Amino acid sequence: MKLNQKIVKISAVTLACAVGITSVVITAKNSNKTEEVVASTEQTEGVTAGFSNVWNTENVYVSSLTAGVAEAVNDVNTLKISDTDVRAVASTAEEGFCGYINLGIVVVDGNLNVRSGASTDNSIVGKMTNHAACEIIETNGEWTHIQSGNVDGWVKSEYLLTGEEALAIAKEEVRTVATATTGGLRVRMEPNTDCTILDLVAEGEDLTVIENLGEWVKVEFDDEENPEGYVFAEYVEISQKLKTGMTLKELRYGNGVSQTRVDLVDFALQYVGGRYVWGGTSLTKGVDCSGFTMKVYEHFGISLPHSSAAQAGYGTKIKASEAQPGDLFFYSRGGSGIGHVAIYIGNGQIVHAASSRDGIKISSAYYRTPLAVRRIID
């Protein structure tokens, strides 16, 4: 069908509604009857597990549109629509928002269990935090089959939004990230090669973009003294992503790991998705990195100071290869000292209060180069 030179009014809202989003809305309800919501102040059932590929497997939203469609998103004025524009809209409809065709957004207080089947009798295969995104595969009564990140399973339908409500939240939650395309990516204090190197980032790690400066990209950096840094644009891929679910994997603790370590990791993991607050010491209202480790250890009768550098002086120094769940990993502060701390949970992963954007999350223990590893508990 040829629409050459036809004058059509297209608003950003109209275009968004044309991008393959289902119009059915499943309203999230407040329910005390279901066990599917794990409150952030309660321990998750049987969690002796780590999470893999937590935020590194999100679908990517391809933001480039051909011809006049990009203008239509940002301009509600009258536009001329050509055949090229129509094809671009059709292509975008196939991709959806951030790659989701049937977008679902979780609305939950705490964590939502993802199960292997449509029943509470089925095992938990993953978890999703508030406003995590998923692809809706099918709905069967009270249960919905979803895929989110590496998680594929069933969730209670009452905790999913779809259609325009889901899209509205997704637009608020989407973040622009710079993904390292090479190992040992340098994060610098200033946008030049003569300044201090804050740290090295592993290939595949995401850094939240503050501003794209062309040759350099300004990014958020989880350092208490230097919350911002710069990476060379040539070695990152910039895209837009939504938060996704997390796969649950049992930790293989091996011999000699105390029950205290297992319990400490269980306790720390229940706060994944919680808030990061500079100077905060509340596991429910917000913490910073050292506040998080301090309060987790405090729960087990161990006192630590509210400072990552000071915590690095506690316990026994060990090699990263010797780390067991519950040990502390420390990272540099602008190349001049320790500025970040995390709890090792096994399988080469850590849980930490990362940044104001990411909150408490799971990461690779080597997403940055560890400066020190300390053993606090036997």
Residue 198 in any domain: the answer is yes
Q: Is the pLDDT of residue 54 over 70?
A: no
**Residue where a domain terminates, one of 186, 205, 236:** 236
Q: Is the pLDDT of residue 24 over 60?
A: no
Q: Do 85 and 140 fall into the same domain?
A: no
Q: What is the pLDDT of residues 222-238, one digit of tens each?
A: 766 778 999 999 999 99
Give strand pairing partners of 362. Answer: 351
3-class DSSP string for 148-193: ECCEEEEEEHHHEECHHHHHHHHHHHCEEEEEECCCCEEEECCCCC
Instruction: Work out the angle between the directed axes of helices 259-269 and 289-298 (0-180°, nearest 10).
Output: 130
pLDDT range class, residue 130, cuts 50, 70, 90:
very high
- What is the identity of the amino acid at 72? A
Q: Do 288 and 355 fall into the same domain?
A: yes
pLDDT (0 to 100) of residue 342: 97
Question: How large is the average pLDDT for residues 28-35?
Answer: 38
Q: What is the pLDDT of residues 334-359, one digit of tens each?
A: 667 899 999 999 888 999 999 988 89
Contact 159, 148 (CB under 8 A): no
Q: Do 259 and 162 fall into the same domain?
A: no
Instruction: Give CA separation, 170 vs 163, 188, 216, 275, 292, in Å.
Output: 11, 31, 27, 19, 28
Q: Is the dihedral of CA 290, 293, 295, 298 positive or negative?
A: negative
pLDDT (0 to 100) of residue 315: 92
pLDDT (0 to 100) of residue 262: 81
**Residue where a domain terminates, one of 236, 268, 286:** 236
Q: Is the pLDDT of residue 253 over 90?
A: no
State percent of the chain over pLDDT 90: 51
pLDDT (0 to 100) of residue 195: 92
Q: Do 221 and 259 fall into the same domain?
A: no
Domain containing residue 121 = 47-59+103-174+242-250
The CATH number linked to 214 is 2.30.30.40
Residue 30 in any domain: the answer is no
> What is the rounded distance in angstroms from the CA atom of residue 280 to the CA atom of residue 306?
9
Q: Is the pLDDT of residue 84 over 60?
A: no
pLDDT (0 to 100) of residue 16: 37
Question: How large is the average pLDDT for residues 78-99?
Answer: 47
pLDDT (0 to 100) of residue 335: 64
pLDDT range class, residue 3, cuts 50, 70, 90:
very low
Structural domain total, the chain: 4
Q: What is the dihedral of CA 325, 326, 332, 337, to 10 degrees?
A: -140
DSSP-assigned states of every residue in 6-43:
EEEE--HHHHHHTSS-----------SS-S-EE-TTSP
* Residue 336, SS3 per DSSP: coil
Q: Do 110 and 74 fall into the same domain?
A: no
Residue 201 in any domain: the answer is yes
Question: How large is the average pLDDT for residues 87-113?
Answer: 74
Q: Do 93 and 121 fall into the same domain?
A: no
336 or 194: which carries more pLDDT confidence? 194
Q: Do 154 and 183 fall into the same domain?
A: no
Give strand pairing partners of 135. Answer: 103, 147
Q: What is the Cα gyration radius of the chain?
A: 22
pLDDT (0 to 100) of residue 61: 34
pLDDT range class, residue 63, cuts 50, 70, 90:
very low
Q: Do 72 and 107 fall into the same domain?
A: no
Residue 137 in any domain: the answer is yes
pLDDT (0 to 100) of residue 66: 35
Residue 73 in any domain: the answer is yes
The CATH number linked to 364 is 3.90.1720.10
Q: Do 185 and 156 fall into the same domain?
A: no
Question: How large is the average pLDDT for residues 236-244?
Answer: 93
Residue 132 in any domain: the answer is yes
Residue 354 in any domain: the answer is yes
Question: How large is the average pLDDT for residues 80-101?
Answer: 52
> What is the rounded distance in angstroms from the CA atom of residue 20 to the CA atom of residue 237?
26
Ranking 17-21, 271-275, 348-352 by mean pLDDT, the lowest is: 17-21
Q: Do 301 and 324 fall into the same domain?
A: yes
Residue 164: CB atoms within 10 A of its CB come to 15
* Residue 343, SS3 per DSSP: strand
**Residue where a domain terminates, one of 204, 236, 268:** 236
> What is the rounded distance in angstroms from the CA atom of residue 39 to the CA atom of residue 355?
22
Report the Cα–Cα distance between both ends of the chain, in Å, rounded: 72
> What is the rounded distance in angstroms from the CA atom of residue 188 to the CA atom of residue 83?
46
Q: Do 114 and 200 fall into the same domain?
A: no
pLDDT range class, residue 44, cuts 50, 70, 90:
very low
Residue position matching structure tokens 């990993």: 329
Q: Do 288 and 369 fall into the same domain?
A: yes
Residue 35 in any domain: the answer is no
Q: What is the mean pLDDT of the chain?
A: 76
- What is the identity of the amino acid at 194? D
Q: Which of 182, 262, 312, 247 is nearest to 52 (CA)?
A: 247
Q: What is the pLDDT of residues 289-337, one digit of tens each?
A: 999 999 999 999 999 999 999 999 999 999 998 898 999 999 987 667 8
Q: Is the pLDDT of residue 285 over 60?
A: yes
